[in-house]
Amino acid sequence: MTDKYDYAIDFDSIAAIDIHTHVEIDGCGHRSLDDELMDASAKYFKSGEDRTPTAQAIADHYRARNMAAVVFTVDAQSATGHPSNSVEEIAELAAANNDVLIPFGSVDPLQGKAAITRARRLVDEYGVKGFKFHPSMQGFEPNDRRYYPLYDAITEAGVPALFHTGQTGIGAGLPGGHGIKLRYSDPMLIDDVAADFPDLTIVLAHPSVPWVDSQIAIATHKSNVYIDLSGWSPKYFPPQLVRAASGMLRHKVLFGSDFPVIQVDRWMKDFADLDIKAEAVPLIFKQNAMRVLGITR
C-alpha cells in the first residue's frame, strides 16, 4: 500500500466527520442506480437537481466546511441487474483528496468468493477504510452464514462494516418497492453478526425505523456496535433515539448526513435545534467516528 492511501486529514482542527456520504456517479457518467430508482429516490428525499455530485465535488463541498467525509457507493449488481459506479475510482479520488475524503469499499455479497477476493484487494491495493452494505438493496440476509467468510475477511483487515438499517428511499413509492425487501434491513439480523464477530466494528446506519428500539438495544448491548444518524433530518428523529444519543449512547452515536440526498447544511441546522447535552456534541460529531475508524481508541 502506498502513502497516497494514508490519511492527510488534520483531525485536531476539522469540525466534524460525516460518516455517511454517497458517490453515485463515476467519471464515465455511470450512475449507481437505474433511472427509475434514481428518480424515485430523488422524489422521496426531495433532493433537487444536484443528485449525483462527483467525488471531487463532494471533496470540495466538505473542504469548504472544514469537515471530513466517508464516501462510498453500493454494489448491488446481482440483486438489481445494474452495475454500480466504480468503487475503485471512488478510492482513487479519495486518495487524491485524502485531506478530506475517507473511502469505504463495497462488494456484492451474492458473488461469494469473488466478493471476498475483491474486498481484500480494495483494502490492500486501494486503501479503503471500511465497507458499506445495504441488505435490502443487495438482497441478502446479513446473518446468513454464507456471508460469514466475507465478514471474516473484513475483520482480518481491521476495518469497520457499515450496514443500512430500517426503511429505505431506494424504491420508495414504486410498485412492490421495485422488489426491494425491507425485512433484510432489520437490525436484529445484524445483531447476530455482531455477536458472532465481536472483533468487527459495526455501524447501524440511519434511525432504524420501524426498529429503532431494537437498534438502541443492540448498540447498548454490544460494545462493537455503533449508530449513525444519517438519512433523516434530525427534526424527524424518533425521540427515544435523541435521548439515547444525548445520554447512555453518547459514546456510540455518529454524525452522518446521507449527502447528497440530505444536504449537510440542512442536517446541521436541524441538529442544532435538538435537546442534546453539550458534552455529547463533540463525541457525535467527531470523536466517536475517530474510534470507529481506528484513528483513536
Q: Where are the domains of the chain?
A: 3-292
Q: At what angle do helices 87-96 and 113-124 cross, to 10 degrees?
A: 10
Element (H, E) at 204: strand 202-205
Q: Who contacts 201 (Cβ-Cβ below 8 Å, separation ≥6)? A: 159, 160, 161, 224, 226, 292, 294
Average per-residue pLDDT for the chain? 95
Residue 239 CB burial class (10 angstroms; 0-12, 13-18, ≥19) = exposed
More confident residue, 293 or 38: 293
At residue 4 the predicted structure's pLDDT band, cuts being 50, 70 and 90, is low
**CATH architecture of the domain with residue range 3-292:** Alpha-Beta Barrel (3.20)
Task: Output the nine-digit C-alpha cell for 144.
Answer: 446468513
- Place 1 in a pLDDT band, splitting at 50, 70 and 90: very low
Residue 71 confidence (pLDDT) above 90: yes
| Entry pTM | 0.95
Nearest in space to 31 (alpha carbons), one of 22, 18, 21: 22
